[in-house]
Chain A
Amino acid sequence: MANFEELKTAMGDLDEVLVLQILGEVAADGGDSATEALAACQAGMDIVGEKYESGEYFVADLIFAGDLMAEAAALLKPLLADTETISLGKLVLATVKGDIHDIGKNIVKALIEAAGIEVFDLGVDVGAEAIVGCLQESGAQVLALSGVLTFAVESMTEIVAAVKAAGFDDVKVIVGGAPVTAEYCEIIGADAWSINAAEGAGICRDWLSA
């Protein structure tokens, strides 16, 4: 029987070898404890978030954590029955039109997924039409837009205007990335902003938990 407390700590410590070893044990046991293993990994990601907040970890660690969590989720997913995958809510995520930077977006994605939110990641260089379409199809309650270039602020403004025009007044919008400020957040028409991945993920979690 895998030790889930040890798995949680290993994930928090970003001990890749131990995380994969324990997940291997879960699979070898037939996957019956995959739900507990996923919960332990998610709890480990909470530790990662705490270490980020305390300054022990920074962006490089979040990149590694995000990929480790994604690898863990990919290993566990085939072992989980559909009914066992309980989502806190749905979120559409994209780097906006004219920008192809995806590292920040991917960090946010990993942290949001670890919080139990179903993410529809549209990738990079994504315009209003694709985002509105995805909101319609997915029924997501939150839209998260990322960008690094100054130019991204204009794209975000256009996208948010299109989302509102399409009638998604209840969809909460968060924007993030280097050029984003409180002032730009207001101009864009978003509900929240952050240049801190962990903080951004926390805002999304709070919205969907409310």
Chain B
Amino acid sequence: MTVQDQFNYRKQIFDDAIRWRKPDRVPHISNFALWPILDYGVPLSQACRDWDLMERVMRRFIETYKFDSPGFLVGLLGNPRKMNDTIGQGYNVIDDAAGTVLIDDMDLLRAEDYDALITDFPSLMWSTLLPRKYPRWSEVKIADMKLAIDEFVRYQSYMERIKKACVEEYGLPLIASQYNLTGFELLFNIFRGMKGLAYDMRRIPDKLLEAVEKLDFANGALDKLFDDSLANEASAFGFNTVILGHNMLSLTQWECYEWPYLKHVIDRAVAADSTVYIFAEGVISRFYEYFTDVPKGHLAIQLEQDDVFDFRKNLPNVAVSGGMTTRLLGSGTAKQCRDYAKHLIDELGTDGGFILCQDKMMSYIRDASPENLKAVCDFAADYRP
């Protein structure tokens, strides 16, 4: 098969999976973040400052393990560390000895900033949020700022290069060809953080809701993301998004801040006969009831801590992605891993509706042994249920 044939084949098996058609085989998505760097054998701090090295890391990972899509890996490996070195930042700490990156809860946005966010978000970003994120922002010399910008351009260039390589050299559809975060997730992951939002939901709930609506619906922001995503031929699915903030929300809060925006894109996908892929980090089972009315064939949810068999029982209308346990990949045998992958595919994937994926984002070196991972990847690529 040519690379284009491989790309088309993979897009087809992803589409078959989410639309519940019997696929030629079950597709296999990577849910890896930092592990490929550690597997390559270089310190995280080195890889995060050298984009040529990072490209070699990515290519080796893609060529060795042969997933059907890098999943969200492409973006997660990227972090313009040298830019951060130049203008300062203190929100994440690389520990090369432990092989970890620890990220603090973000609090760039303060409660008193909501009015400015609602009125003029770009202005708030430049005047307030960036100086908070980068402590040396206001005093940085022009030469250093140029270095920072150059580094950011190199980072962006790497991102585009590796995405292009995935599609044009390896025939891999992308899941996250662009980042689509809803307003609440933007606040949760980037600007306000868990603790800040916990306070805002109690102290200024109306203001928070106004900000979320502004981020999602002002000037058709979410619709534009959806339209751009739909037009992206490199993507395996019509629209993708990642949610994490739901892990802190009660049902009432979910209904207010998160669900309306997810429902909006799901409804749009159904209307356009397209598909949505949601990576639900953490636990999503508390919210299954909200997805029961989604027409079959338009939605897939990638799980982390939720049980894939329980998901299938509760949501027979929604395709599920996940199942391959870190416990086995990290400390089982290759045979145990293959046997479990077969069990998952036979039980969940014979008639579509299933995508094989790891049950957590693989960042720590012992999350998977290379031999076990290779065994599962080879099996998934060959097995026809």
Please name 17 pairs of A and B residues whose Cβ atoms are closer than 8 Å in the assembled complex, sorted by A.
A55-B250, A55-B286, A58-B253, A59-B249, A60-B197, A60-B198, A60-B250, A61-B202, A64-B201, A98-B100, A100-B93, A100-B104, A103-B105, A149-B100, A149-B363, A150-B367, A181-B327
CA distance A103 to B203 in the complex (A): 19
- Cβ-based interface call for B277 (8 A): no
Pairwise interchain contact B250-A150, C-beta atoms closer than 8 A: no
Query: B194 near A: Cβ within 8 Å?
Result: yes
Interface of A is mostly: loop
- Please, which residues of chain B bring their CB within 8 A of the CB of A183? 327
Is the beta-carbon distance between A151 and B194 smaller than 8 angstroms?
A: no
Answer yes or no: B317 CB below 8 A from chain A CBs.
no
**A17: min CB distance to chain B, Å:** 9
With an 8 A cutoff between CB atoms, is B179 at the interface? no
State in angstroms the CA–CA spacing of A63 and B196 once bound together.
Answer: 10
B228 close to chain A: CB less than 8 A = no
- A184's nearest neighbour on chain B, judged by CB, is B327
Check if A60 sits within 8 Å of B305, measured CB to CB.
Answer: no
Out of B102, B195, B250, B326, name the residue touching A57 (CB < 8 Å).
B250
CB-contact partner of B282 in A100, A154, A178, under 8 A? A178
How many inter-chain contacts with C-beta < 8 Å in the A-B complex? Answer: 73
Within 8 A of B (CB), among A100-117: 100-101, 103
In the complex, A164→B234 CA distance in Å? Answer: 55
Whether A103 contacts B364 in the complex (CB less than 8 A), given A60-B248, A63-B248, comes out as no
Bound complex: CA of A100 vs CA of B363, how far in Å? 16
- Assuming the contacts A150-B364, A178-B282, asked whether A103 and B195 have C-beta atoms less than 8 A apart, the reply is yes
Which residues of A approach B to under 8 Å, CB–CB? 14, 16, 55-61, 63-64, 67, 98-101, 103, 149-151, 154, 178, 181, 183
Q: Mark B320-359, 1 if CB is under 8 A from A, else 0.
A: 0000001100100000000000000000000000000000
- Expressed in whole angstroms, the minimum distance between the Cβ of A101 and any Cβ of chain B is 8
Least distance between B197 CB and chain A CB atoms (Å): 7
Closest B residue to A58 by CB, please name it.
B250
Across the two chains, which residue of chain B brings its CB closest to A15?
A: B202
Known: A16-B203, A150-B367, A178-B282. A60 touches B98 (CB 8 A): no
- Complex CA distance for A75 and B175, rounded to whole angstroms: 51
Residue of A nearest to B327 (CB): A183
In the A-B complex, the 10 residue pairs with the closest CB atoms: A63-B198, A58-B250, A60-B198, A59-B248, A60-B248, A98-B98, A100-B102, A150-B364, A151-B364, A64-B202
Scan B90-130; emit 1 where CB is below 8 A from any A CB, else 0: 00010100111010110000000000000000000000000
Complex Cα gap A205–B327 (Å): 31
User: Given the interface contacts A100-B104, A150-B326, A150-B360, does A16 sit within 8 Å of B202 by beta carbon?
Assistant: yes
Contact of A14 among B98, B197, B202, B247 (CB under 8 A): B202
Asked whether A99 lies within 8 Å of B102 as measured between CB atoms, the reply is yes
How far does the alpha carbon of A210 sit from the alpha carbon of B367 in the complex, in Å? 39
